[in-house]
Amino acid sequence: MNARLASALSLASLVAGCGSTLPPKELVDARASYQSACKGPAAQQSPAELHVAKQSLDVAERAFADDGDSSSTKDFAYIATRKAQLADASARADLAVKERETAEREAQSVQASQLSDARSQLSTTKSSLEKTQEQLAREKAAREEAEKKAALAMADLQRLASVKQESRGMVITLSGSVLFATNESTLLPAAVLKLNDVADALIKGNPDANITIEGHTDSQGQRAYNMDLGQQRADAVKSQLVARSVAADRIKAIGIGPDRPLAENKTAEGRANNRRVEIIVEPSRK
C-alpha cells in the first residue's frame, strides 16, 4: 500500500468515526438546559438542585461514551434535561418569592411612613386647630371685655352728663354752670373731678376715637366776646382731658359761642341750657 492510499483510508476511517460519535438531540438539549440553568439564578438560589442536574448530565455523557446514540443515553439525557429545568424553575420561583417579600416589606415600609406622615399632619392640624380655637376664645373674651367696658363707660357718662347718639357721633353735653363761674373760663374744682371721670370713661370706652369739644354760650353781650369765651371754655376742657391722659392729637377744641342755641335766649332757663360744653366722640371708621 503506497502512502497516498494509506492516507486516504485513514481519512475515510476518521470521517466514519466522527459520524458515529455525534450526540443525540436529547443529549444536546440536556447540555443546553444545564448551561442555561448555570447562567440563571439557579447558581445562587438552587445550587444543590443544580448539582443534581450536573450529576444526571454526567450519567448521560458516560452512557453516550459507552453506548453511543442508544435509548439509554437518550433516557439519561432526558432526565438530565428535566433536572436542569427543575433547578432553573425552582431558583426562579424562590427568587420570585423573595422579590415579592421584598416588595411587600417595601410597601409596608412606605405605608408605615405614609401613616406616620398622616399622623404627624393630623397632629399638626389638631394643634393648629386648638391654637385657633384658643385664639378665637381669647378674641371673644377680649371682645366681650371691651363691650363690657364700653357699656360701663356709657353708664358712667350717662351719670355724669347728658349723652345721646347723633349722626356726628356720641354727644356728651355738660352744663356751663357746672363747669365754670359766670363769664369765666377757669374750671370749677367740682368740674375738674367731673371731667376726670369723663376722661376715664372716654379712655375706657373709646380709646382711639377722635373728639371734638365745642364751647357754647348764650346770646347776651357782644358776639365777639361770646365767641372768645366759647373757645376759651373749649380749650379749658381739652386741657383737662389731656391732663387726664386723653391723647391731645385726638382732640379738637372749637368756640361756637351763641351760634347754635338749644333754646330761646329770652328766658333764664333757655339761656342756661345754651351755656354748655359739648364733647363729640366721632364714630369709628372701619
pLDDT in tens, 219-244: 999 999 999 999 999 999 999 999 99
Q: What is the pLDDT of residue 158?
A: 67
Q: What is the pLDDT of residue 134?
A: 86
Average pLDDT in the 60-71 region? 93
Claim to verify: residue 196 and residue 267 sit in the same structural domain: yes
Q: What is the pLDDT of residue 25?
A: 94
* Residue 95, domain extent: 22-144
Given a cut of 60, is residue 18 above it in pLDDT?
Answer: no
Average pLDDT in the 266-281 region? 92
- Report helix angle 25-39 to 71-160, nearest 10: 30
Given a cut of 80, is residue 110 above it in pLDDT?
Answer: yes
142 or 152, greater pLDDT: 142
Claim to verify: residue 180 and residue 277 sit in the same structural domain: yes
Claim to verify: residue 101 and residue 67 sit in the same structural domain: yes
pLDDT digit string, tens, across residues 30-53: 999 999 999 999 889 989 999 998
Domain for residue 214, yes or no? Answer: yes
Claim to verify: residue 46 and residue 86 sit in the same structural domain: yes
Claim to verify: residue 123 and residue 209 sit in the same structural domain: no
Domain for residue 1, yes or no? Answer: no
Q: What is the pLDDT of residue 3?
A: 47
Domain for residue 149, yes or no? Answer: no
**114, 144, 174: which is the final residue of a domain?**
144
Average pLDDT in the 77-105 region? 91
Claim to verify: residue 209 and residue 113 sit in the same structural domain: no
Average pLDDT in the 87-112 region? 90
Q: What CATH number corresponds to the domain at position 226?
A: 3.30.1330.60
Q: What is the pLDDT of residue 13?
A: 40
Q: What is the pLDDT of residue 64?
A: 94
List C-alpha distances in Å: 36 to 43, 86, 247. 10, 12, 98
Claim to verify: residue 173 and residue 130 sit in the same structural domain: no
What is the rounded average pLDDT for all residues in the chain? 86
Given a cut of 70, is residue 169 above it in pLDDT?
Answer: yes
Domain for residue 85, yes or no? Answer: yes
Number of domains composing the chain: 2
Domain for residue 3, yes or no? Answer: no
Percent of residues, the chain, with pLDDT higher than 90: 54
Contacts with 170 (C-beta within 8 Å, 6 or more apart), sequence order:
163, 164, 206, 280, 281, 283
Claim to verify: residue 65 and residue 127 sit in the same structural domain: yes
Q: What is the pLDDT of residue 192?
A: 93
Q: Strand pairing partners for 172?
A: 163, 279
**144, 174, 190: which is the final residue of a domain?**
144
Claim to verify: residue 179 and residue 270 sit in the same structural domain: yes
Which pLDDT band holds residue 172 (cuts at 50, 70, 90)? Answer: very high
Average pLDDT in the 200-209 region? 86
Domain for residue 87, yes or no? Answer: yes
Claim to verify: residue 276 and residue 203 sit in the same structural domain: yes
Domain for residue 259, yes or no? Answer: yes
For residues 184 and 221, give the distance between their C-alpha atoms in angstroms, rounded to a whole number. Answer: 14
- Per residue, what are the HEC states of 212-277? EEEEECCCCCCHHHHHHHHHHHHHHHHHHHHHCCCCHHHEEEEEEECCCCCCCCCCHHHHHHHCEE
Claim to verify: residue 135 and residue 177 sit in the same structural domain: no
The backbone torsions φ and ψ at residue 211, rounded to the nearest 5 degrees and listed phi first, read: -130, 135
Claim to verify: residue 115 and residue 189 sit in the same structural domain: no
Average pLDDT in the 209-223 region? 93
List C-alpha distances in Å: 196 to 148, 161, 167, 202, 237. 20, 13, 26, 10, 10
Which pLDDT band holds residue 67 (cuts at 50, 70, 90)? Answer: very high
Verdict on whether the full-model pTM lies above 0.75: no
Given a cut of 80, is residue 114 above it in pLDDT?
Answer: yes
**116, 144, 172: which is the final residue of a domain?**
144
Domain for residue 120, yes or no? Answer: yes
Neighbour-count burial for 113-132, b at 16+ CB within 10 Å, e otherwise: eeeeeeeeeeeeeeeeeeee
Given a cut of 60, is residue 15 above it in pLDDT?
Answer: no
Given a cut of 70, is residue 117 above it in pLDDT?
Answer: yes
